């Protein structure tokens, strides 16, 4: 019998409060039908966007009214479907909601191209005649700055029609990696058989038995070798798609095109790669601590995920985790702290695993709802850090939605990971300074250091690989599985110069789905760097720095990401935040070495 309970067996206080959106599925049905009937209102403005300021304002207000209702319908359905993925009724409800959202987006697809028929002088004239349009200045600027990269209506229509085709490399890879591939079954040291999967590979690489880790490593990557030509072809064509799309839109490179979306200068990417490469000695020191922890003469690639603390950590019940996290965010101010505490009591969080519940964790919600956090809490340090992480996202959304109108509340991915990682860093520092239990302190250090390694260094290495393969395509070079192996293996050898690399790890690129996301991964690394710099500034300057940070969160999407972080006192166009993050990493490595009595 499964030890995982049914959802009905979990107390209500540990479930999120979806009644705060709709009190019943019948109420959801009524809301769905009502907003579905309103979508044609949006299509009525096509061809008339720039007729006069009054029409434009009327369209923008109508669009907001409709899309806010759509987002609530979608949010409720998605959250219900996450509670139990076996429930076909809720899966169908979610599918209906997604189709509704797609229909709504299509109904206003004409808006940006028609606005781009204006220039900024025209916009200013519209604002002078209709002052209420001034609230949309950032939106107008974002639309108009893309003007030179927007093609004719005919070309845009063709590109839109081809989107399903151009997305096929990612779709094919996903089906291959997640549906069609079968990995070997291996025997654990206790005699139990376990099938290696994409989902459990990393967990198995943390197993305390080194020989078992080696077996898993080799068996896993040997299986990938069987499909290397298929995966190589899908990645090659994904990269070519990025390059050709960028050229169609008059960008010099695919990277320039990808970073122009959130208006991030290319120098931010270059600073990240260069600064991380200049500080690889810190990563290599972390690797050496792992070597000492397992008592090995040399660190192998199957040792990279091993914990500094062994296999088991102290138990941290959910109520204790809440207490630690609330205390940890005290430097962010009493209002921030009390609002988070109230949210935890007001059922923001769906706490425990139940049968059929979606795996992992996330923070969700809409402009008109409370935040909703999905957890699968396991009474351990990792779960505690995940809760702190998701609460950071939720508080970011709360502050932004309170301060900004609907159209300026959503923020870019570039800043999204900052708030979550600030919470993680504050939690780490609080526990190290206030908890006397050396076992817990060591597990906290190990958890944070591993998150730092996998986010700043690993994601930057991915970003380096991604840049190299795109540059080869842009120079019309050949991208083959052998070339991918060579490039990736060289990067792994550079980053882990004090460890032994092997032919198996050169294939690791094959299992990374993020390489199909077109210059996405670098934002994880910049996010954790900015967060570390912000926490250091708060430690040094106190409330004034905390106020700047809260102001930055409250900006939401009303300014571009670089400017938002400038408000928090962080200049991501310079190497300084990344260098500051390295200083934080180094100090925690020092603490770990002391607790472990290494070096």
In the chain (599 residues long), the average pLDDT of successive 10-residue segments reads 79 96 96 96 93 97 97 96 90 91 87 93 97 97 93 74 81 84 93 87 91 97 96 97 95 96 96 97 97 95 92 87 98 97 97 87 95 93 93 97 97 92 94 90 90 95 98 97 98 97 96 92 94 94 97 97 97 94 93 86
Q: Is residue 339 situated within a structural domain?
A: no
Among 209, 226, 243, residue at a domain's last position? 226
| Whether residues 274 and 130 fall in one domain | no
372-374, strands of its sheet edge to edge? 349-350, 372-374, 362-364
Phi, psi of 47 (to 5 degrees): 85, 0
Q: Are residues 545 and 475 in the same domain?
A: yes
pLDDT reported for residue 599: 63
Euclidean distance between CA atoms 95 and 75, whole angstroms: 12
DSSP 347-377: T-EE-S--TTPPSS-EEE--TTS--EEE---
The enclosing H or E element of 190 equals none
The phi, psi pair for 355, rounded to 5°, reads -60, 130
DSSP assignment letter at 8: G
In angstroms, the CA 325 to CA 453 distance is 22
Is residue 211 domain-resident? yes
Closest CA to 484 of 228, 226, 183: 228
In a domain, 254, yes or no: no
Catalytic residues: 390
- Residues 222 and 273 both lie in one domain: no
What is the residue whose two structure tokens read 């199909």? 516
DSSP state of 118: S
> Is 359 exposed, middle or buried (CB count within 10 Å of its CB: 0-12, 13-18, 19+)?
exposed
Q: How many domains does the chain have?
A: 3
133 and 40, same structural domain?
A: yes
CA dist 556 and 409 (Å) reads: 5
Those residues whose C-beta lies under 8 Å from the C-beta of residue 144, and which sit 6 or more positions away, are: 115, 116, 118, 119, 120, 123
CA atoms of 84 and 355, how far apart (whole Å) = 7
In terms of domains, do 52 and 188 share one? no
Domain endpoint, select from 226, 258, 293: 226
- Whole-prediction pTM value? 0.88
Q: Residue 69 is part of a domain; what is its CATH number?
A: 1.20.140.70
Backbone phi, psi, residue 195, to 5°: -85, 130
The CATH number linked to 439 is 1.10.1370.20
The dihedral sign for the CA sequence 226, 229, 230, 232: positive
Q: Rounded to 5 degrees, what are φ and ψ at 314?
A: -70, 150
Q: Measured between alpha carbons, how far is 366 from 386 in angstroms, rounded to an integer?
A: 21
The one-character DSSP state at 299 is: E
**How far separated are the first and last CA of the chain, in Å rounded?**
47
Question: Is 336 contained in some domain?
Answer: no
Q: Are 187 and 76 members of one domain?
A: no
Q: Do residue 498 and residue 426 come from a single domain?
A: yes
**Residue 581 belongs to a domain:** yes
What's the token pair of residue 450? 């591993």
**What count of other Cβ atoms lies within 10 Å of the Cβ of residue 540?**
8
Q: What does the block give as tokens for 130?
A: 């209709």
Identify whether the C-beta of residue 307 lies closer than 8 Å to the C-beta of residue 596. no
**Angstrom distance (rounded) from CA 405 to CA 132:** 12
Residue-level pLDDT at 311: 66
Q: What is the CATH number of the domain that holds 215?
A: 1.10.287.830
DSSP state of 119: -
Residue 333 makes CB contacts below 8 A (sequence gap 6+) with 543, 546, 547, 550
Q: Which three-class secondary structure string do you get for 565-591?
A: HHHCCCCCCCCHHHHHHHHHHHHHHHH
User: Taking the CA of residue 413 as centre, how many other CA atoms within 13 Å lie in the half-sphere pointing to its CB?
Assistant: 12
Q: Distance between CA atoms of 162 and 8, rounded to whole angstroms?
A: 45
Name 277's Cβ contacts closer than 8 Å, sequence gap at least 6.
464, 494
Per-residue model confidence (pLDDT) at position 1 = 35
Q: What share of the chain is helix, strand, coil (3-state, %, to 5)?
A: 70, 5, 30
In this structure, the dihedral spanned by the alpha carbons of residues 585, 589, 592 and 594, taken in order and rounded to 10 degrees, is -130
pLDDT for 154 equals: 73
d(Cα 479, Cα 117) in Å, to the nearest integer?
40
- Domain of residue 565: give its range: 268-306+405-599
**Domain shared by 463 and 570, yes or no:** yes
Residue 155 lies in a domain: no
| Domain-located, residue 399 | no
Short-list 458, 463, 417, CA closest to 254: 463
The reported pLDDT for the residue numbered 2 is: 46
Give start and end residues of each alpha helix (H) in 514-575.
Answer: 522-541, 543-554, 561-567
Q: 36 with 146, same domain? A: yes
Phi-psi region of 377 (alpha: psi -120 to 50; beta: other; left: phi over 0): beta
Find the farthest-apart pair of alpha carbons in the chain and give their distance in angstroms, rounded.
78
From residue 119, give the alpha-carbon distance in Å to each of 115, 131, 164, 321.
Answer: 9, 18, 32, 53
Give Cα separations from 186 to 192, 204, 215 (angstroms).
8, 11, 8
Q: In the 8-state DSSP scheme, what is residue 134?
A: G
203 and 79 assigned to the same domain? no
β-pairing verdict for 499-500 and 299-300: parallel
What's the pLDDT at 156?
A: 75
Measured between alpha carbons, how far is residue 375 from residues 180, 364, 369, 416 in Å? Answer: 29, 12, 18, 18
Would the CA dihedral through 477, 479, 485, 490 be positive or negative?
positive
> What SS3 string covers 452-475?
HHHHHHHHHHHHHHHHHHHHHHHC
Q: Does 125 share its domain with 217? A: no
How many other CB atoms sit within 10 Å of the CB of residue 113? 17
Using only C-alpha atoms, what is the Rg of the chain?
Answer: 25
How far is the CA of 520 from the CAs of 516, 573, 577, in angstroms?
Answer: 9, 17, 19
- Report yes or no on 489 lying in a domain: yes
Residues 204 and 274 in one domain: no
């Amino acid at each position: 019998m499964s030890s995982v309970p049914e959802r009905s067996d979990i107390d209500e206080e540990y479930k999120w409060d979806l009644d705060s959106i709709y009190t019943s599925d019948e109420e959801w049905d009524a809301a769905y039908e009502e907003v579905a009937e309103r979508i044609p209102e949006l299509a009525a403005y096509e061809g008339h966007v720039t007729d006069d300021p009054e029409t434009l304002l009327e369209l923008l207000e109508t669009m907001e009214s409709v899309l806010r209702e759509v987002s609530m319908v979608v949010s409720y359905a998605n959250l219900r479907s996450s509670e139990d993925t076996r429930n076909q009724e809720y899966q169908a409800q979610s599918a209906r909601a997604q189709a509704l959202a797609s229909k709504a987006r299509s109904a206003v697809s004409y808006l940006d191209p028609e606005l781009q028929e204006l220039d900024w002088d025209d916009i200013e004239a519209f604002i002078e005649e209709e002052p209420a349009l001034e609230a949309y200045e950032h939106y107008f600027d974002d639309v108009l700055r893309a003007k030179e990269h927007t093609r004719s209506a005919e070309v845009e229509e063709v590109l839109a029609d081809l989107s399903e085709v151009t997305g096929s490399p990612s779709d094919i890879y996903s089906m291959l990696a997640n549906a069609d591939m079968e990995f070997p079954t291996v025997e654990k040291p206790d005699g139990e058989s376990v099938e290696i999967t994409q989902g459990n590979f990393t967990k198995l690489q943390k197993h305390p038995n080194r020989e078992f880790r080696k077996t898993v490593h080799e068996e896993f990557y040997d299986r990938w070798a069987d499909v290397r030509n298929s995966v190589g072809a899908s990645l090659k064509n994904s990269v070519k798609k990025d390059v050709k799309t960028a050229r169609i839109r008059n960008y010099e490179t695919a990277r320039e095109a990808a970073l122009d979306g959130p208006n991030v200068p290319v120098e931010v990417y270059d600073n990240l790669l260069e600064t991380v490469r200049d500080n690889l000695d810190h990563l290599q020191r972390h690797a050496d601590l792992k070597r000492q922890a397992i008592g090995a003469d040399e660190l192998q690639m199957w040792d990279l995920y091993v914990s500094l603390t062994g296999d088991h950590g102290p138990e941290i019940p959910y109520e204790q985790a809440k207490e630690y996290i609330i205390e940890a965010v005290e430097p962010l101010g009493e209002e921030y702290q009390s609002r988070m505490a109230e949210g935890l009591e007001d059922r923001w969080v769906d706490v425990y695993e139940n049968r059929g519940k979606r795996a992992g964790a996330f923070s969700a919600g809409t402009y008109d709802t409370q935040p909703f956090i999905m957890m699968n809490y396991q009474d351990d340090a990792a779960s505690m850090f995940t809760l702190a992480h998701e609460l950071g996202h939720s508080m970011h959304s709360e502050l932004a939605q309170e301060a900004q109108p609907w159209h300026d509340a959503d923020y870019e991915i570039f800043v999204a990971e900052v708030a979550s990682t600030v919470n993680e860093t504050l939690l780490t520092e609080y526990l190290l300074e206030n908890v006397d239990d050396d076992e817990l302190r060591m597990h906290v250090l190990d958890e944070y250091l591993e998150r730092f390694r996998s986010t700043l260094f690993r994601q930057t290495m991915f970003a380096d690989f991604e840049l190299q393969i795109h540059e080869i395509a842009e120079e019309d070079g050949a991208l083959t599985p052998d070339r991918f192996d060579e490039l990736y293996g060289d990067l792994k050898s550079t980053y882990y110069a004090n460890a032994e690399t092997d032919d198996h790890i050169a294939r690791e690129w094959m299992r990374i789905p993020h390489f199909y996301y077109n210059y996405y991964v670098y934002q994880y690394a910049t996010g954790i760097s900015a967060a570390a710099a912000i926490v250091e500034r708060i430690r040094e300057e106190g409330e004034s720095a905390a106020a700047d940070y809260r102001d930055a969160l409250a900006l939401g999407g009303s300014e571009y990401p670089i400017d938002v972080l400038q408000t928090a006192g962080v200049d991501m166009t310079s190497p300084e935040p990344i260098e500051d993050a390295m200083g934080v990493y180094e100090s925690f490595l020092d603490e770990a070495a002391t607790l472990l009595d290494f070096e």
